[in-house]
């Protein structure tokens, strides 16, 4: 009955999405002479995964159905929202199927190894690999109520929040890397102007609430049952496997505050947050046993029970000469809450960290100069409290990288201990032709070892990397701005301060090298019709892990009609690890209305690390078909 109810709910959601093109908003009766508005958005995704040609067998030959049904009701100053997420799987890999495949591939077995013994070992390994994967799931992922006026906004439930430039707190939705994390609790935000002085403040408190099912891997987060997260996935209490009865995620408690005061020309702010492993209740208790509320991790931030982060900021958006400037200085203390609230022992001073971010923009059109600087020492990302590998990127902060938003070559714990910055010059050469050039220069002590003087031994040249990252480009528009061309290219030179042994067995200081070219061309061929070509080519060498350099890239050609339909053809390639792999795909997008669309994708995509503004996620290769329907009414 339970399975049937879940599938029925999913079928209803799909029918809502497919029929929404002809739907009309529901006219509800007014309440107290105030109109009532209902908005429903449904996102339905069907994926079929065939053999994606990687070494793993546990991500091939299965289907999945992901659905997100988002309902919002608005009346007067009140908005109430609810989102129901579900996931179902067809023909998903099982331990027995994987063990049989492993046994067949291993033939003939080494002398003295029986088929049964090999199958048993493979079965046990498959059980571990599939733990909390491909499980039918339905849960209320987001719910909230917001009362809003021009000066005050109060929310109870789920909400996104960011303080400053993300050094202190950043919980948001980033579709490109499959991140959607809210804080479930309470938020009060107020702002106004008094005697020519602007003021504003925000107070938040609650439990971190990420999306619980990862579409790319089928892994789900399971957390101990709690009233705050009612209906969320929990461990399988009745499972014969002890590991299935253990949570792989524990929601962190987070409290934070922001105060801003100033004028339109100069605004000063103070931001602070405390992350508490085990929830908000841990803030009121002694330190206790860390093992009860945390998972072990590669950084101090993940393994520590409390993290306190605070910053002060100055924003001057209207300086003379068309100049804008921003400065934020932050400090961080691990286990600081136990110190602040009279807990047991205090951590040693050498685990405290700090960060500085500054930017200045001068000019405008025809010439503009942007300079961004960053400096960090032992400034750790606020990593989520999870042991699930696919969710390792979950964090509650997102410090600025000062690089292009898609930068994916800051390895290890690069951003936790680095000094440097970037300057970019944009200039209009003639008419619509613009050129730009950028130079990034950095020194980092955490790209290879990840510790950054965490235990007081001092910064060492043996850990240092020096980075140069220049690029140049040009862009123009034509045909009365209906068409445009943008092309740029650059290099990245990452040099170790002292020699190390490369993957090829030689002594070198060349840690990473890259040469790349990127382009985006859109040409309008007739009223309502356009052709677009986008892509890049990269030559990369990561000498610590790869004995040879490799090539990777992609090119996507699309035909667009009146913002209603897009037909695309894609080609991607990769020759890392010796074999040249080709990935071909095609896609079709149709917009029934501005709010309702259906997209079909068939083919292959290479596995890649994809980054947006310092938030990165390693996606596995894909081969198969995808259908996505988005509808709003």
Q: Is the pLDDT of residue 237 over 90?
A: no
DSSP 551-571: EEEEEEEEEEETTTEEEEEEE
Q: Does residue 270 lie in a domain region?
A: yes
Cα–Cα dist 582/629, whole Å: 28
- The whole-number pLDDT of residue 395 equals 92
Q: Does residue 428 lie in a domain region?
A: no
Q: Is the pLDDT of residue 412 over 60?
A: yes
Kindly state the helix (H) or strand (E) to which residue 270 belongs, with its residue range: strand 267-276
Domain count, the chain: 1
272 near 309, Cβ under 8 Å?
yes
Q: Is the pLDDT of residue 7 over 70?
A: no
All residues at 6 or more sequence positions from 535 whose CB lies less than 8 Å from its CB, including other chains: 518, 519, 553, 554, 555, 556
Tokens representing 119 are: 């199958």
| Mean pLDDT, residues 612-617 | 80
- Categorize the per-residue pLDDT at 292 as very low, low, confident or very high, splitting at 50, 70 and 90: low
Sign of CA dihedral 270, 274, 280, 286: negative
- Single pTM value for the model: 0.89
Q: Does residue 242 lie in a domain region?
A: yes
- The whole-number pLDDT of residue 287 equals 54
All residues at 6 or more sequence positions from 583 whose CB lies less than 8 Å from its CB, including other chains: 570, 571, 572, 573, 574, 603, 604, 605, 606, 621, 623
- The whole-number pLDDT of residue 413 equals 87
pLDDT digits (tens, 9 = 90+) for 152-183: 999 999 999 999 999 999 999 988 788 899 99
- The whole-number pLDDT of residue 617 equals 84
Residue 336 φ then ψ, to 5°: -65, -30
DSSP code of residue 290: G
In whole numbers, what is the pLDDT of the chain averaged over residues? 87
Q: Which residues of 202-230 are buried (b: 16+ CB within 10 A; e: fewer)?
A: bebbbbbbbbbbbebbbbbbbbeeeeebe
Residue, of 542 and 611, whose pLDDT is higher: 542
> Between vectors from CA 294 to CA 292 and to CA 295, what angle results, nearest 5°?
115
Most confident of 65-74, 229-238, 332-341: 65-74
Residue 577 φ then ψ, to 5°: 70, 20
pLDDT digits (tens, 9 = 90+) for 413-460: 898 999 999 999 999 998 899 999 999 999 999 998 767 775 666 788
Q: Does residue 461 lie in a domain region?
A: no
Q: Is the pLDDT of residue 48 over 80?
A: yes
Based on C-alpha coordinates, what's the Rg of the chain? 26
| Mean pLDDT, residues 568-574 | 97
- The whole-number pLDDT of residue 455 equals 60
| Mean pLDDT, residues 562-588 | 94
| Mean pLDDT, residues 237-256 | 82
- The whole-number pLDDT of residue 176 equals 79
Helices (H) and strands (E) in the chain, counts: 5, 29
Q: Is the pLDDT of residue 348 over 50?
A: no
Q: Does residue 495 lie in a domain region?
A: no
369 near 361, Cβ under 8 Å?
yes
Q: Is the pLDDT of residue 233 over 70?
A: yes
pLDDT digits (tens, 9 = 90+) for 455-492: 666 788 888 999 999 999 999 999 989 999 999 999 99
Please tell me the least confidently modeled range out of 19-28, 275-284, 607-616.
Answer: 19-28
- The whole-number pLDDT of residue 268 equals 96
| Mean pLDDT, residues 207-220 | 93
DSSP 118-174: HHHHHHHHHHHHTTTBS--EEEEEEEEEEEE-SSEEEEEEEE-EEETTTTSEEE-EE
- Categorize the per-residue pLDDT at 1 as very low, low, confident or very high, splitting at 50, 70 and 90: very low
Q: Does residue 441 lie in a domain region?
A: no
Residue-number span of the structural domain to which 625 is assigned: 2-93+130-400+549-632
Q: Is 337 in a helix, a strand, or coil?
A: helix
Question: For the chain, what percent of residues have pLDDT higher than 70?
Answer: 89
Chain position carrying tokens 């009146």: 562
All residues at 6 or more sequence positions from 562 whose CB lies less than 8 Å from its CB, including other chains: 528, 529
Cα–Cα dist 502/545, whole Å: 7
DSSP 195-227: TTEEEEEEEEEEEEEE-SB-TTT-BB------S
Sign of CA dihedral 605, 45, 211, 96: negative
Q: Does residue 125 lie in a domain region?
A: no
Could you tell me the end-to-end alpha-carbon distance of the chain, in angstroms, rounded to an integer? 30
Cα–Cα dist 621/600, whole Å: 18
All residues at 6 or more sequence positions from 5 whose CB lies less than 8 Å from its CB, including other chains: none
Chain position carrying tokens 């445009």: 484
Q: Does residue 170 lie in a domain region?
A: yes
Cα–Cα dist 168/310, whole Å: 6
Q: Is the pLDDT of residue 14 over 50?
A: no
């Amino acid at each position: 009955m339970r399975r049937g109810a879940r599938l029925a709910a999913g079928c209803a959601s799909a029918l809502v999405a497919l029929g929404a093109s002809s739907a009309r908003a529901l006219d509800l009766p007014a309440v107290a002479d105030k109109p009532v508005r209902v908005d429903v958005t449904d996102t339905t995704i069907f994926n079929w995964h065939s053999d994606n040609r990687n070494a793993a067998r546990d991500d091939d030959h299965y289907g999945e159905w992901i659905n997100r049904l988002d309902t919002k009701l608005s009346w007067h100053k009140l908005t109430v929202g609810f989102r129901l997420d579900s996931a179902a799987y067809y023909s998903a890999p099982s331990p027995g199927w994987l063990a049989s495949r492993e046994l067949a591939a291993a033939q003939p077995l080494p002398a003295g190894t029986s088929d049964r013994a090999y199958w048993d070992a493979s079965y046990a390994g498959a059980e571990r690999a599939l733990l909390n994967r491909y499980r039918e799931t339905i849960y209320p992922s987001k719910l909230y109520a917001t009362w809003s006026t021009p000066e005050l906004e109060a929310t109870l439930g789920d909400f996104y929040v960011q303080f400053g430039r993300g050094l202190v707190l950043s919980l948001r939705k980033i579709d490109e890397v499959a991140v959607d994390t809210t804080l479930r609790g309470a938020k009060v935000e107020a702002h106004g102007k008094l005697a020519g002085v602007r003021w504003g403040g925000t107070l938040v408190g609650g439990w971190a609430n990420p999306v619980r099912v990862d579409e790319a891997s089928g892994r789900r987060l399971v957390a101990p049952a709690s009233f705050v997260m009612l209906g969320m996935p929990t461990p399988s209490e009745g499972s014969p496997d002890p590991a299935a009865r253990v949570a792989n995620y524990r929601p962190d408690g987070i409290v934070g505050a922001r105060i801003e005061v100033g004028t339109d020309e100069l605004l000063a702010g103070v931001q602070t947050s405390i992350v508490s492993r085990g929830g908000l209740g841990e803030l009121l208790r002694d330190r206790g046993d860390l093992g009860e509320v945390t998972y072990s991790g590669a950084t101090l931030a993940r393994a520590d029970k409390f993290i306190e982060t605070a910053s002060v900021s100055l924003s001057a958006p209207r300086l003379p000469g068309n100049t804008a400037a921003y400065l934020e200085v932050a400090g961080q203390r691990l286990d600081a809450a136990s110190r602040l609230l009279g807990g047991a022992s205090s951590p040693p001073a050498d685990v405290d960290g700090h960060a500085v971010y500054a930017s200045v923009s001068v000019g405008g059109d025809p010439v503009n100069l942007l300079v961004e600087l960053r400096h960090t020492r032992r400034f750790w990302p606020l990593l989520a409290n999870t042991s699930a590998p696919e969710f390792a990127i979950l964090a509650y902060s997102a410090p600025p990288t000062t690089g292009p938003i898609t930068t994916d070559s800051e390895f290890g714990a690069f951003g936790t201990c680095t000094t440097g910055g970037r300057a970019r010059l944009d200039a209009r050469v003639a008419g619509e032709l613009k050129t730009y050039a950028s130079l990034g220069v950095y020194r980092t002590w955490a790209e290879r070892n990840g510790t950054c003087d965490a235990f007081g031994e001092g910064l060492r040249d043996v850990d240092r990397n020096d980075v140069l990252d220049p690029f140049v480009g040009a862009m123009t528009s034509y045909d009365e701005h209906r068409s445009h061309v943008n092309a740029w290219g650059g290099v990245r030179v990452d040099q170790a301060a002292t020699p190390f042994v490369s993957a090829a067995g030689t002594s070198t200081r060349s840690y990473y090298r890259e040469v790349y070219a990127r382009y985006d061309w859109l040409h309008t061929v007739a009223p309502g019709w356009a052709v677009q070509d986008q892509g890049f080519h990269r030559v990369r060498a990561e000498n610590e892990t790869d004995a040879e350099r490799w090539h990777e890239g992609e090119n996507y050609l699309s035909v667009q009609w009146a913002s209603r339909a897009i037909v695309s053809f894609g080609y991607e390639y990769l020759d890392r690890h010796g074999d040249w792999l080709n990935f071909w795909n095609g896609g079709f997008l149709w917009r029934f209305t501005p709010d309702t669309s259906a997209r079909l994708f068939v083919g292959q995509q290479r596995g890649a690390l994809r980054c947006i503004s310092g938030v990165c996620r390693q996606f596995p290769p894909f081969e198969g078909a995808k259908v996505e329907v988005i509808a709003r009414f």
